[in-house]
Amino acid sequence: MRRWLTLLTLFTIFNLMDAALATDGHQGHTDNSASHSTNVNANATTDTLTHQEVVEGVRAEFQVMSLAAMNMKDPEGKSHHIMAKFFDASSEKQINNAIGKIKVISPSGKEQVESLQNYSGILAANFDFDENGKYGVICLFKVDDKKRLVKFWYQHE
């Protein structure tokens, strides 16, 4: 529980930093410990979002997709699928041994946590997006015994 509270606190701090940078006209930031660059592409007609970010030498690629748009159903009734792929940022070689969890926070604050299942180097989990609004997505993943964190927003209508 303490870990998730710490992650939630970090998530809040990073969002405040992003808001401050956005008002200055900057789109990303670089510090001594990590290099972050963000590329977000949302497609409202297919209910899909892609997000890329480089964190401490690892490029993380995420896709959030509606299961209905993929003509798929979840046995537990979940509505969305989140996929993650990880690459060595310098060599662009895919990292197949990553492990991790994703936490999704709904607009009303309801939290869902799922372990990522590894499908030959593509990690994925399903979530229920049952409210309209902004969902916070936090991914804590581990590559070569080093933990990294990625967070982004997903707008669900």
Mean pLDDT (whole number) for 78-85: 96
Q: How confident is the model at residue 120 (pLDDT cuts 50, 70, 90)?
A: confident
Whether 127 and 113 have beta carbons less than 8 Å apart is answered as no
The CA–CA distances, whole Å, from 1 to 12, 89, 92, 145, 151 equal 17, 32, 35, 21, 19
Write out pLDDT tens, residues 7-27.
444 444 444 344 433 333 333
Domain boundaries of the chain, sorted by first residue: 37-156
Pick the CATH number of 37-156 from 2.60.40.3340, 3.40.50.1980, 3.30.230.10, 2.60.120.260: 2.60.40.3340
The least confident of 19-33, 36-50, 60-74, 119-133 is 19-33
Which residue is associated with the tokens 């372990």? 115
Handedness of CA 134, 135, 137, 138 (dihedral sign): positive
The residues with which 102 forms a beta bridge, in sequence order, are: 114, 139
Statement: residue 134 has pLDDT above 70: yes
Percent of the chain with pLDDT over 70: 70
Q: In this structure, what are the phi and psi dihedrals at residue 14, rounded to the nearest 5 degrees? A: -60, -40
Mean pLDDT (whole number) for 59-76: 93
Specify the pTM.
0.71
